[in-house]
Amino acid sequence: MKVYRSVDEIPSIKNPVVTLGTYDGVHLGHQEIISFLKKNAKRTGGETVLFTFHPHPRMVLYPEDHGMKLIQSIDERIEKLERFGIDHLILFPFTEEFSRLSATEFVRDILVNKLNVSMMTIGYNHHFGRNREGNLELLKELGIVYDFKVEEIPAFRTGDISISSTKIRKAIQCGDLQTAKLYLGESFSFKGKVVRGDQIGTKIGFPTANMQLLTPHQIIPTNGVYAVKVKYANRTIKGMMNIGQRPTVSELKEQRIEVHLFDFNEDIYDNIIDVQFIARVRDEQEFESLEALTNQLKNDQATCLHMLA
């Protein structure tokens, strides 16, 4: 997969079959669109082009109050899209100036004049352009004017529930990892750098790797204890993670993300680890003593090992 961060970098593409979207999470609905995209490209002898934006448009349009939490970092999104066999990925730099471009101007100036689009493959309810004025009907009209085809993708559903990145974010924030996994097609995960903590876990027999997230806008599950799998140095290690303020050992009310790795005793400070969330174990709670906390952690470990078996 070739990645471009500007349309000026793009070489001539053979019969570009293009789709648009933010693709945060690359969930099953997105994967269905990609499947349609690839089928159309194969049928027409063209190449697949996924056109997305970075940063997320809401972060640019509402810089002080976007409230945006992302399912994936941009690097994780690139990695996942590459797994699905996209030929070309355009990470278009979203700016305030670009946001003022009308839908018709976007199609004419970018998709037609820069990409020479051959076919648009787009969801039935997708909107784009200034004030989200662009839609499927406008694309069909412009397709006649600028000589490109438009292929509509019907709604993709899991059971009786339509899929959206917004629903996945809500599920993750509530700790509903099963729903998130159902929609994503795989367990929710994020990456972080291991940093030094205050070593309390080591003192009570449960050393933890404290994580510093790679992006400030990374969505994380609600506070609590989770059974996880951690990818590090081409290995997968079972463990349990605590997200929260550690009320038993700290009065700072500062949220921490800590993971205890089972049967693991290596120095991994300053390394990047990838945490895959398997199941939620319990809410975070305050204990009357370190001994009571330690006993609960032993129970949590047994529960996690059972869940991860």
Q: What does pTM read for this prediction?
A: 0.90
Residue after which a domain boundary falls, among 146, 162, 178: 162
Within a domain: 93:
yes
208 and 260 share one domain = yes
Strand (E) or helix (H) holding 184: helix 177-184
What is the average pLDDT across 206-221? 93
What's the pLDDT at 258? 96
Kind and range of the H or E run holding 37: helix 28-44
Average pLDDT score over residue span 76-93: 96
Write down the pLDDT at residue 156.
67
* Amino acid of residue 200: I
- Please check whether residues 158 and 219 belong to one and the same domain: no
Task: Return the CATH number at 125.
Answer: 3.40.50.620
Quick one: average pLDDT of 73-81? 94
pLDDT at 158 over 60: no
CATH number, domain at 297? 2.40.30.30
Give the bridge partners for 64, in sequence order: none
> What gap in Å lies between CA 132 and CA 261, rounded to an integer?
46
Tracing tokens 């799998």 back to the chain, one arrives at 229
In the predicted model, what is the mean pLDDT of the chain?
93
User: 306, exposed or middle or buried, with CB in 10 Å at 0-12, 13-18, 19+?
Assistant: exposed
Query: Quick one: pLDDT at residue 64?
Result: 81
The mean pLDDT of 91-116, rounded to a whole number, is 96
Residue 159 has pLDDT above 70, yes or no: no
Domain count, the chain: 2
Instruction: Compute the average pLDDT of residues 170-175.
Output: 96
- For residue 180, being part of any structural domain is answered with no
- What is the model's pLDDT at position 157? 60
Residue 196 lies in a domain: yes
pLDDT in tens, 48-58: 999 999 999 98
Residues 125 and 214 in one domain: no
CA 53/CA 19 separation, integer angstroms: 12
Does the pLDDT value for residue 161 go beyond 70? no
Using the 3D structure, point to which of 115, 145, 162 is the last residue of a domain: 162
Place of tokens 């989200």: 132
Claim to verify: residue 135 and residue 211 sit in the same structural domain: no
Domain that holds residue 60: 2-162
pLDDT exceeds cutoff 70 at 45: yes
pLDDT of residue 28 exceeding 90, the answer is: yes
What pLDDT does 37 receive? 95
Q: For the residues 73-96, what does the mean pLDDT come to?
A: 95
Residues 229 and 303 in one domain: yes
* 274 and 231 assigned to the same domain: yes
Asked whether residue 217 carries a pLDDT value surpassing 70, the answer given is yes
Q: CA-to-CA distance for 26 and 22, rounded, in angstroms?
A: 9
Is 177 part of any domain?
no
| Cα gap 149→21, rounded to integer Å | 18
Residue 242 has pLDDT above 90, yes or no: yes
Same domain, 153 and 233: no
Q: Are residues 224 and 82 in the same domain?
A: no
107 and 255 together in one domain: no
Task: Tell me: do 122 and 47 sit in the same domain.
Answer: yes
For 264-285, the pLDDT digits (tens) are: 999 999 999 999 999 999 999 9
pLDDT of residue 248: 86
Predicted local distance difference test score (pLDDT) of residue 244: 95
Identify whether 168 is part of a domain: no
C-alpha to C-alpha distance for 302 and 296, rounded to whole angstroms: 10
Task: Note whether 94 and 152 are same-domain residues.
Answer: yes
